[in-house]
Amino acid sequence: VAADRISSGPLLTEVVRVALPTPDGTFEVRAFESPTGHVYLALLHGDVAGREEVLTRLHSECLTGDALGSLRCDCGVQLRLALRRIAAEERGVLIYATGQEGRGIGLVNKLRAYVEQDAGHDTIDANLRLGLPVDGRNYDAAAAVLIRLGVGSVRLLTNNPDKVRRLRDAGIDVAVVEPLATAPHVRNTEYLRTKEERLGHVRPARFDTSALLGEVRPHTDRPYVVLKFAQTLDGRIATATGDAKWISGEAERRVSHGLRAACDGVLVGVGTVLQDDPLLTVRLVPGASPQRVVLDSTLRIPPAAQVLGPEAATAVVTTPRSAPARRGELKERGVQVHVVPATPAGVDLPATLSTLRGGGAETLLVEGGAKVITSMLAAGLVDRLVVGLASTIIGQGTEAVGSLGITSVADGIRLVGRSVHLVDDDVLLAWDVAPARR
C-alpha cells in the first residue's frame, strides 16, 4: 500500500506520469513534488511494486556533469551507466533528486567551491572554506518516493556508504549495495580520491589507469602527451597488408578505452582513419569520450569517416595545402578545423599541440600509426610511452617506429620509471620518456 508519509518523513504529491524515451531505453517518469518545492523524478523500467532487490539508483542533480558533460566530476557518466544498467535489467528505478546540486549546497555555491578547488583545496575543504556543509543532502524524500512506488527492497547502485546508511535510517531495505564504477578522467581523479579517503567512497579500481598515465604534468605550450600503441611480440603494429584489428586482446583494449576516458584528447593521423576507420570513442568502459583529433594536411579524410560522427567532438588539424571549401564543410558539421603550418611530414606538430593546449587540452593520448608515432618521438614531444605487448607473432608487417636518424645506441630515446601490468595474456608496459641528453 502506498504510503504518503514515512515516520516523520515529508509529504509528497505525485504531479505527473509520462513516458520518456531516451537513448538508454524508454522509462516511465513519475514526478513527485516535496513540500520544499523540489521535484523527485522516478524513472521506472518494468514493474517494481512489491518486488524485492529492485535495481535502484538515487542520483543527485548535477547540471554541470549530467547535462553539460563536465569532467570535474563523474556524475554524468554515473547517470548514463545507471540508466543503462536498469534498462538492461528490464526492471529498476532511478530517482533523480533535484535541489541536491553539489551535495546539497546548490548550483552557484558548487561553482564557488570549484573556484576554491582551482586554488588548491579539495572538494571537502572547498565547501568548509565557504562555510557550507560537506554534504547537505537529505534522503528522506527519496526514501518516501521508493515507499510510494511500493518497492520491497533495493539493490542500490552507489559508491557512497553514507547514502546507504541514510536510506536505511529512512526505512528503506537496502538488501545489496553495488558499486557504480566509472573510468575516471585525469581531471576528476583527485576529486574521486578525496571522496574515497575522506568520505569512505568506493574507488573505481577496475578502470583506474593512473599508474599507466604516470604523473600528469601539462606543459604551458602543449598537453602532457601519452603515446600508446599495441604491438605484437615481434614488434609489429599491423600486418604487411595493414590489418591491425585486433592485435591485442579485449582486456588490453578495455584498458586503452580507460586511457581515452582519462584524457582530454585522442590523436591519430589520417593514415589510421583511411586504413581502420576507427570511432575513437570510449565504449568498452563507462567513461566520457575525449575530443578526437586527426592530423590531415590536405583533408584526405572521407566525409563518411566514423571519426566525424556525432558520438564525440572532433578536431581536424590541417595545413594551408587543404581546400578551404572542404574546411568549411567540416565546420558546418561541427568539426573544429585548425590550420597550422605544413612540414615535410605533414602538419607542424609543435603548432598543433600548442593549438590544442590553447583550446584547453591538458592531456593527449596519441594512438596513431607508425608515421605519427615516429614524428612525435623524433620531435621529442612525448612525455609517457604506453606499449601493449600482445601475445601474438605475425612476422613481416609494419614496425611501430620508423627511422629516428639514430646511429648510435647510446643516442637512443631513454625510457625511465618502468611500470608493468598484466592483462590476460597481454602485457602493458609504461615509461616516462627521459629528457633528451645534450
Ligand X SMILES: NC(=O)c1ccc[n+]([C@@H]2O[C@H](COP(=O)([O-])OP(=O)(O)OC[C@H]3O[C@@H](n4cnc5c(N)ncnc54)[C@H](OP(=O)(O)O)[C@@H]3O)[C@@H](O)[C@H]2O)c1
Q: What is the per-residue binding string for ligand X in 137-156, x denoting contact by CB under 6 A?
A: --------------------
Q: How far is the CB of 287 from ligand X (least distance, A)?
A: 19
135 catalytic per annotation: yes
351 binds ligand X (CB under 6 A): no
368 binds ligand X (CB under 6 A): yes
Q: Which residues inside 396-415 make contact with ligand X, applying CB under 6 A?
A: 398
Q: Which span sits near ligand X by CB under 6 A: 21-29, 112-120, 131-139, 363-371?
A: 363-371
Q: Which span sits near ligand X by CB under 6 A: 161-169, 195-203, 285-293, 368-376?
A: 368-376
Cβ atoms of 313 and 292 within 8 Å: the answer is yes
Which of 261, 370, 385, 386 lies at the binding interface for ligand X (CB under 6 A)? Answer: 370
Q: How far is the CB of 238 from ligand X (least distance, A)?
A: 4
265 binds ligand X (CB under 6 A): no
CB burial readout 232-259, b (16+ within 10 A) else e: beeebbbeeeeebeebbbeebbbbbbbb
For every residue of 171-236, DSSP letters joined together read: T--EEEEE-------HHHHHHHHHHHHHH-PPP-GGG--HHHH-S----SSS-EEEEEEEE-TTSE
Which of 213, 244, 285, 316 lies at the binding interface for ligand X (CB under 6 A)? Answer: 244
Provide the angle, in degrees to the nearest 10, between the axes of the packed helices 140-148 and 161-169.
Answer: 60
Which of 92, 265, 290, 369 lies at the binding interface for ligand X (CB under 6 A)? Answer: 369
Q: How far is the CB of 245 from ligand X (least distance, A)?
A: 7
103 catalytic per annotation: no
Of the two residues 168 and 371, which places its CB atom closer to ligand X in the complex? Answer: 371
Q: How far is the CB of 244 from ligand X (least distance, A)?
A: 3
Catalytic residue among 66, 74, 135, 276: 135
Query: What one-character DSSP code corresponds to residue 148?
Result: H
377 binds ligand X (CB under 6 A): no
375 binds ligand X (CB under 6 A): yes
Q: How far is the CB of 347 from ligand X (least distance, A)?
A: 4
Residue type, 382: V
For every residue of 251-263, DSSP letters joined together read: HHHHHHHHHHHHS
Q: How far is the CB of 379 from ligand X (least distance, A)?
A: 8
242 binds ligand X (CB under 6 A): yes
Cβ atoms of 208 and 184 within 8 Å: the answer is yes
Cβ atoms of 61 and 106 within 8 Å: the answer is no
Of the two residues 97 and 377, which places its CB atom closer to ligand X in the complex? Answer: 377
Q: Is the peptide bond before 246 cis (omega within 30 degrees of 0)?
A: yes
327 binds ligand X (CB under 6 A): no
C-alpha cell at 9: 518523513
Q: How far is the CB of 364 from ligand X (least distance, A)?
A: 14
Of the two residues 101 and 296, which places its CB atom closer to ligand X in the complex? Answer: 296
Q: Is 5 helix (H, G, I), strand (E, B) or coil?
A: coil
Tell me whether strands 426-433 and 384-389 are parallel, antiparallel or unpaired: antiparallel
Q: How far is the CB of 269 from ligand X (least distance, A)?
A: 2
Of the two residues 200 and 324, which places its CB atom closer to ligand X in the complex? Answer: 324
Nearest residue to 70 via CA among 100, 107, 104:
107
Catalytic residue among 51, 57, 137, 166: 137
Of the two residues 9 and 271, which places its CB atom closer to ligand X in the complex? Answer: 271
Which of 298, 306, 336, 392 lies at the binding interface for ligand X (CB under 6 A)? Answer: 298
355 binds ligand X (CB under 6 A): no
188 binds ligand X (CB under 6 A): no
E strand or H helix at 6: none
Query: What one-character DSSP code corresponds to residue 169?
Result: H
Positive or negative torsion for Cα 137, 139, 140, 146: positive
297 binds ligand X (CB under 6 A): yes
301 binds ligand X (CB under 6 A): no
Query: What one-character DSSP code corresponds to residue 390?
Result: -
Cβ atoms of 281 and 287 within 8 Å: the answer is no
Cβ atoms of 417 and 431 within 8 Å: the answer is yes
Of the two residues 42 and 247, which places its CB atom closer to ligand X in the complex? Answer: 247
Q: Is 269 helix (H, G, I), strand (E, B) or coil?
A: strand
Site residue total, ligand X (CB under 6 A): 31
Q: How far is the CB of 300 from ligand X (least distance, A)?
A: 5
List of residues 6+ apart from 133 with CB closer than 8 A:
103, 104, 105, 127
Integer Cα distance of 19 and 27 in angstroms: 6
Q: Which residues inside 208-237 make contact with ligand X, applying CB under 6 A?
A: 229-230, 237
Binding site for ligand X (CB under 6 A): 229-230, 237-238, 242, 244, 247, 268-272, 275-276, 295-298, 300, 345-347, 349, 367-372, 375, 398
Q: Which residues are catalytic?
A: 135, 137
